Structure 1
Amino acid sequence: MGSTEITLHRGDITKAEVDAVVNAANSGLLGGGGVDGAIHRAGGPAILEACRELRRTTLPDGLPTGQAVATTAGDLAAQWVIHTVGPVYAKSEDRSELLASAYRESLRVADEVGARTVAFPAVSAGVYGWPLDDAARIAVTTVRNTESAVREAQFILFSDQVLDAFVRAAEPSG
């Protein structure tokens, strides 16, 4: 297992031509807003059906925060969607380990299914309220430091503001 190349892009993650797209899901796995809703809309009903099957079988209580699971990608260019649940930001409690876990577990699942190229969104940086610079730092550092067979991790970011935060986080320090 070598090091994963990290690339940063502004764009629509549903159009990523990669083996697996990471979905910033909610624990219910039945679709939602933001990236989650976009992936479900673009991927079609096959993704929701696969999620419903997981809820009927292995994940009756939903997917815990910081964990990840793969389903078909339906109509997306990718072969798999890796659903992960990031934590909601809380000033009163350091939940950064849960955010790092969402990225680590996504890479572990990518290895399980054989994905070598993976597109990540900015997990927890949208409606979950995580401060952008910190979300970007945790994302980039975790992916950089996690042993994985993934060759390329693309961060596909939805705005210039988010992209700028990831560019700063990816700069070599000192």
Structure 2
Amino acid sequence: MPAFETIRSDLSAVSNTRFTIILGDITKLDVDAIVNAANSSLLGGGGVDGAIHRAAGPELVAECRMLNGCKTGQAKITRGYRLPAKHVIHTVGPVWNGGGRGEQDLLTSCYRNSLSLAMDHGLKTIAFSAISTGIYRFPVEPAAMIATRTAVAESMRGGFSEIIFCCFGDEMAGIYDRLLPGALAKA
């Protein structure tokens, strides 16, 4: 079984960035950076965060200890170590508390700050997990809308050859597949 399956791949006519939705394991992607849905300690946890830390090896947690954590909505970068990805961008998404505590703005900041950090480091290919949609309970459809719209808007600044949305399940991949064309059309 392949490590991932491409669901959609569209080239933005405006930014010349390829946007790809894949179904699979983000730890298997050979890209400049994968984005980790981290907790504020950056020292590993469950879900995607735990999988990335396990695949990268103990060197990742050693480097993360030096970063002194990360605030919600912010992002920090490390090497990828044993991952095929050269770097890991760690971002801390908001915990969903009903939507009245700035969760949408914080999630937008996660994507914006991750892409800005990648751009600052000259990274051309970046893959996102679905930030905050696991144990942080952010509703999947609004989260995917924020992810696609923010990534498309940030791609207008130039510099990226490909932005990937890596989905772990069919339902998530289907939501991204439905929302991405609309985000690209509004660009």
Structure 2 vs 1, CA of residues 100 and 114 (structure 1 numbering), >3 Å: closer, same or farther?
A: same
Structure 2 spans left out of the alignment, 5+ residues: 1-13
State how 1:129-168 maps to structure 2 within 5 Å.
129-146=137-154, 147-168=157-178
Offset from partner CA, 1:30-67 (integer Å, 9 cap, x none): 00001100000001011101101112xxxxxx201111
State how 1:91-102 maps to structure 2 within 5 Å.
91=98, 92-102=100-110
Larger RCO (CA within 8 A; separation ≥ 6): 1
Identity of aligned residues (%): 46
For residues 76 and 155 of structure 1, the distance between their equivalents in structure 2, rounded to whole angstroms, comes to 17
Matching of residue 70 in structure 1 with residue 112 in structure 2:
no
Indicate the residue corresponding to 1:36 in structure 2.
49
State how 1:104-119 maps to structure 2 within 5 Å.
104-119=112-127
TM-score normalised by L of structure 1: 0.91
Structure 1 spans left out of the alignment, 5+ residues: 56-61
Question: 28-37 or 107-116: which moved more?
Answer: 107-116
What SS does structure 2 have at the residue aligned with 1:162? helix
Letter in 2 for 1:81: V
For residues 39 and 155 of structure 1, the distance between their equivalents in structure 2, rounded to whole angstroms, comes to 16
For residues 94 and 4 of structure 1, the distance between their equivalents in structure 2, rounded to whole angstroms, comes to 29
Question: 164-173 or 104-113: which moved more?
Answer: 164-173
For residues 166 and 131 of structure 1, the distance between their equivalents in structure 2, rounded to whole angstroms, comes to 13
For residues 148 and 109 of structure 2, the distance between their equivalents in structure 1, rounded to whole angstroms, comes to 13
Indicate the residue corresponding to 2:88 in structure 1.
81
TM-score normalised by L of structure 2: 0.85
Letter in 2 for 1:127: I
- Equivalenced residue count is 168
How big is the shift at 1:3?
A: 4.7
Indicate the residue corresponding to 1:25 in structure 2.
38
What SS does structure 1 have at the residue aligned with 2:66? helix
RMSD, aligned α-carbons:
1.6
How big is the shift at 1:94?
A: 3.9
